[in-house]
Amino acid sequence: MGLLGSFLGKDQQRDLASANQQANQYLDTGYNSAYGDYSTAISGYDPYVQSGTKSQTTWDDLMGLNGTGARDAAYGTLSTNPLFTGQLATSSNALARTLNAQGASGGGKAQLAGARVLAETGGNWLDRYAQGGQTGLSATGAKSNALMGRGELSSSYAGAKAGNAVNYGNALAANRNTGINNILGVAGLAVNAMKPTPTFGKVT
Amino acid sequence: MNFLPGWDVGAFMAGGGPAFPEIMGTPAKTEDGTVAGSHNANLPAGIVAGETLVLVCYQVGSPSPAPSGWTLIVASSVYRLAAYQKLATGSEGSSVAVAFQSGFTDCFTAIAFRVKGAIMFAGAASADPNATGPPDPPNLSPGWGTRKILWISCGYAARSASADVQIDGYPSGFTLAQTYAQTNGPSLIKQRLAIAGMNDEVSSKNPPAFSSTPTSGGPGFVAATLAIA
């Protein structure tokens, strides 16, 4: 624009707009990047949250906390799970061998021992489900923290954007009178130039 | 800790170790020639809490939903021969609703039976649809080691309404609970479903085939092997 533009304040307005635009671009870039990172982190916790929730539900079901229907269904799932039945088979086969070797293969002792094997195997699985629930709880906490972080990020972003807008507005308002002030300043010089030179008190 | 609300530990451990599970009473069969998307499968009489109920049925469509409260043991993929189990409460009533995959309709065959002393279940199904018969239950190795297992062979055959098929022989050695159910659908396929069991203390089992007449033709033949311990 040159001297006249600077004189009238247009260049300053353009500089302000450019600076404002650049500041917002930096903000947007940073915000989008950080938001994406948070979102990735949040979704990364999802499988653990879901798995933990299922584990906790299964534990509740097996314990009968959700009613006998849910309990029996959970037992059905357990009794068709190859991992559970494999462990139970191994334990009960070993028990059968021991009882037979001791000649104690019949009667109440065998039944008690069988019940113990069943309870221990089942108890181990209950512990696993409980552990899964704890893992899910930890993942839920971590996810909550990440969600809070993302929320704070959004809040800060909005605040920074608002601050930029206010500053930009203030700067524009301050610059609005630049041209007038400059014109008034020049006019003042001209007026002063036209004034007669005072002669009072002049030493001649 | 009470982790044994219904499992019959006494029967499971009869004789000092895991015992052969025992089929109780007479299996109930369902032969429903009505073409519909859901049917009721008859349950056996005299159900006792703590026993296990086993339901073998034909469910067109895959995946078809499990009956409420029942757990899938195994199912074939297309002409779906499915087996379910349920820890009995004694209040099951005389039948259970079985639905097909949404949008599918057909007639229905099912066989349900009671088992005492069962805690573990496994199954394998043959590839299907298989236009070459007879139904031949596949080898099953549950991973339980050598133990007393009740083995159940399940066979299913279906042909069009204009071409009949019969399952006319059970697998050799499978003499327990021999039962068949059959329907003649009014416009769709004829269904033949059969089961038979045997006790054997082994780690795996490849049951012989059922015999059928004829031994070929569509829609096909499907079979499954169940292990119950």
Q: Does A111 touch chain B (CB under 8 A)?
A: yes
pLDDT, one tens digit per residue, over B67-91 is 999 999 999 987 789 999 999 989 9
Average pLDDT over residues B179-195: 84
Q: Is residue B2 part of a domain?
A: no
Cβ atoms B161, B32 nearer than 8 A? no
If one compares B6 and B53, the residue with the highest pLDDT of the two is: B53
A124 located within any domain: yes
Specify if B175 maps to a domain.
yes
**Domains in chain B, number:** 1
Residue to substitute from A72, A78, A125, interface B, most B β-carbons within 10 A = A72
Q: Which of B18, B87, B229 sits opposite A75 (nearest CB)?
A: B87
Which pLDDT belongs to residue B198? Answer: 98
In a domain, A202, yes or no: no
| Cβ-based contacts of B51 with chain A (< 8 Å) | none
Question: A68 lies in a domain?
Answer: yes
Q: Tell me, what amino acid is at B99?
A: A
Residues of the domain holding B20? 9-228
DSSP characters over B115-171: EES---EEEEE--S--SB-S--PPPB--S--SEEEEEEEEEEEEEETTS--EEEEPP
Query: Is B182 within a domain?
Result: yes
Asked if B17's CB is within 8 angstroms of A115's CB, the reply is no
What local confidence, expressed as pLDDT, does residue A9 receive?
A: 74
Whether residue B104 lies inside any domain: the answer is: yes
Asked if residue A51 belongs to a domain, the reply is yes
Whether residue A70 lies inside any domain: the answer is: yes
Query: What residue of B is the nearest CA neighbor of A73?
Result: B69
Grade residue B54 by pLDDT with cuts at 50, 70 and 90. Answer: very high
pLDDT by position in tens, chain A (length 204): 566 667 667 888 888 888 888 888 999 999 999 999 999 999 999 999 999 999 999 999 988 899 988 888 899 999 999 999 999 999 888 888 888 787 766 677 777 888 888 888 888 888 989 999 999 999 999 999 999 999 999 999 999 989 989 998 888 888 777 666 776 676 666 556 666 555 555 555
Domain annotation covers residue B3? no
Give the structural domain span for A156: 2-194
Number of structural domains (chain A) is 1
> Is A201 within the bounds of a domain?
no
Phi, psi of A49 (to 5 degrees): -65, -45
Q: Is A64 on the interface with B (CB under 8 A)?
A: yes
Instruction: Compare CB distances from B144 to A68, A86, A123 and report the shortest one's residue.
Output: A86
| Nearest chain A residue to B6, by CA | A72
Q: Is the pTM of this model over 0.90?
A: no
Identify whether A142 is part of a domain: yes
Query: Taking the CB of residue B209, how many other CB atoms lie within 10 A of it?
Result: 20
DSSP A67-130: -HHHHHHHHHHHHT-HHHHHHHHHHHHHHHHHHHHHT--SHHHHHHHHHHHHHHHHHHHHHHHH
Q: Is B167:B210 a contact under the CB 8 Å cutoff?
A: yes
Domain-located, residue B13:
yes
pLDDT band at B166; cut points 50, 70, 90: confident
Let me know if residue A203 belongs to a domain: no
Q: Do B71 and A77 touch (CB under 8 A)?
A: yes
Helix (H, G, I), strand (E, B) or coil at A32: helix
Specify if B1 maps to a domain: no
In a domain, B188, yes or no: yes
pLDDT band at B145 (very low <50, low <70, confident <90, very high): very high
